[in-house]
Amino acid sequence: MRGFSFRKVIIFWVVVVVGAVLFLVVDSAVVSKSNQRKYDKQAAEYLKDHLARKAGNEKKIGTQKRYGVIKRMWLSDKQPRQQIELRGAESEVDIVMKKSEARLAETFQEVQGIIQEDLFYQDLAGNEYVTGTNGEIKKKGNGNGNENALPVALEELTPMQRFRYFEADHAVYDYHTHTLIAYDVNFWSYTAKGHDLIEHRGELWPEASGSATSMTMCHEGSIATMQFAAENLNMQVTPEW
């Protein structure tokens, strides 16, 4: 009898375990079926976004907002390195996907900017000199080789710069293409002593001023490739005092 009772216990627990397994399988099938439409919808959205990126459409995947922004960039193809400074009351940094490529762009509001366009040296006679590719000081207009370098000491020359200052309603800087586009912009061009950025322009007289519905500056990380373009440009030369 005891052996018979033991077998009944074993059979009972086998039935319980099998029943539990069958319940989980059936329950899982029912849950999957009830949520299938939701899963299909999500999959369709993911596929749609993926195909849009593959087709070249852009998709914003991240945004960061900042206030009181000051950004400086250095162009490094020759010495001394020229600088670009952008100031904005606020800015919004966006990460955008285009196909499989992530791009970073920043939109500035109430923008002030300084772009150093030329760093050079000047002697007492007004002649201009620049630094050659090998670090030699040479007169502007000469070739790039050492054979054209002039025996001029830096101590005899005054560092000078040409720069553009601008104010704009807003501007967008694309870090991938090194392109700045400023909208509803006013700008002024100056020549001043020194190679450091000019923080205060009160004592300087602009050589030219202008306005445009948009101003585009592209440098591709190099002074040699710096280009400017403007739409609906209105420019005038400023007479000296």
pLDDT per residue of the chain (241 residues) written in tens, 0 to 9: 444 455 665 665 555 555 554 444 444 444 455 555 655 555 555 555 555 555 556 666 678 888 999 999 887 666 788 899 999 999 998 887 766 677 788 999 999 999 998 999 999 999 999 887 777 888 887 554 444 556 677 888 999 999 999 999 999 998 888 889 999 999 999 999 999 999 888 889 999 999 999 999 887 655 566 788 888 889 888 666 5
Residue 63's CB is within 10 A of a number of other CB atoms, namely: 11
What is the reported pLDDT for 237? 80
The pLDDT, as a whole number, for residue 38 is: 54
Rounded Cα distance, 118 and 225, in Å: 13
Question: From residue 70, how far is each of 97, 112, 223 by CA, in Å?
Answer: 26, 10, 21
pLDDT score, position 154: 80
Residue 7, pLDDT score: 61
pLDDT of residue 147: 45
User: What DSSP string runs through the chain?
Assistant: -HHHHHHHHHHHHHHHHHHHHHHHHHHHHHHHHHTHHHHHHHHHHHHHHHHHHHTT-EEEEEEEEEEEEEEEEEE-SSSSPEEEEEEEEEEEEEEEEETTEEEEEEEEEEEEEEEEEEEEEE-TT--EEEE-TTS-EEETTS-SSGGG-----GGGSEEEEEEEEEEEEEEEEETTTTEEEEEEEEEEEEEEESSS--S--TT---SEEEEEEEEEEE-TT-GGG-EEEEES-EEEEPPP-
